[in-house]
Copies of this chain bind each other. A is one copy, B any other.
Amino acid sequence: MARKRFDDSNCSVARALNQVGDWWSLLIVLHAMYGTRRFVDFQQELGIAKNILCDRLARLVDNGVLKKVDVGEHGSRFEYRLTEKGRDLFPVVIALRQWGDKWNPAPDEAPLDLRDRATGQPIQTVQVQNIEGDPVTVRDVFVSGDAVPGSKKDTA
């Protein structure tokens, strides 16, 4: 978290990072995807300070990633649930998880094995695909409208 914000950046990645680009926000979203909904559960699972958690949850709600639901049961009771916008971060989170599993594997532990409920099989590695479904790397793409596609990035 820093001083400079990117709300008005013309780069959608920067704007996205503005909403979920700090350490905690994406972890909160991740845990929400795993089923966590309550303030105390987030706090205990993440080991985050309460004031920071308050701030992050409120910001995520403001940004429409989570919605705060009053559930009248026991204690002061609210639930933070993913919105469609929040659930739509699934590919981002999974891509990040797979990248972490690949390049920074836990020394002791096996990576989390996510499986499709329908087939019982592991999910695929998230990849960028072209129109035909073939995987493409950063070297295979160009920005449409660019002056000279391929002038710089093809040797990165």
Taking beta carbons and an 8 Å cutoff, which residues of A are in contact with B? Answer: 1-2, 4, 6, 10-19, 21-24, 26-27, 30, 32-35, 37, 47, 64, 81-82, 85, 87-106, 109, 111-119, 121-124, 126-133, 136-145, 149-153, 156
A4 to chain B, nearest CB (A): 8
| Count of this chain's copies in the oligomeric assembly | 2
Closest to A120 in B: B144
Task: Please give, as numbers and ranges, the residues of chain B lying within 8 Å of A2 by CB-CB distance.
Answer: 1, 22-24
B14–A101 CB distance below 8 A: no
Q: Which residues of B contact A47 (CB under 8 A)?
A: 4
A20 to chain B, nearest CB (A): 8
The answer on a CB contact under 8 Å between A140 and B116 is yes
In the assembled complex, which residues on chain B have CB atoms less than 8 Å from the CB atom of A126? Answer: 91, 95, 126-129
A154 to chain B, nearest CB (A): 8
Say whether A35 contacts B104, CB under 8 Å.
Answer: no
B4, B21, B112, B144: the one contacting A26 at CB < 8 Å is: B21
User: A34: which of B22, B128, B153 is its contact (CB, 8 Å)?
Assistant: B153
Q: Are A133 and B141 in contact, CB atoms less than 8 angstroms apart?
A: no
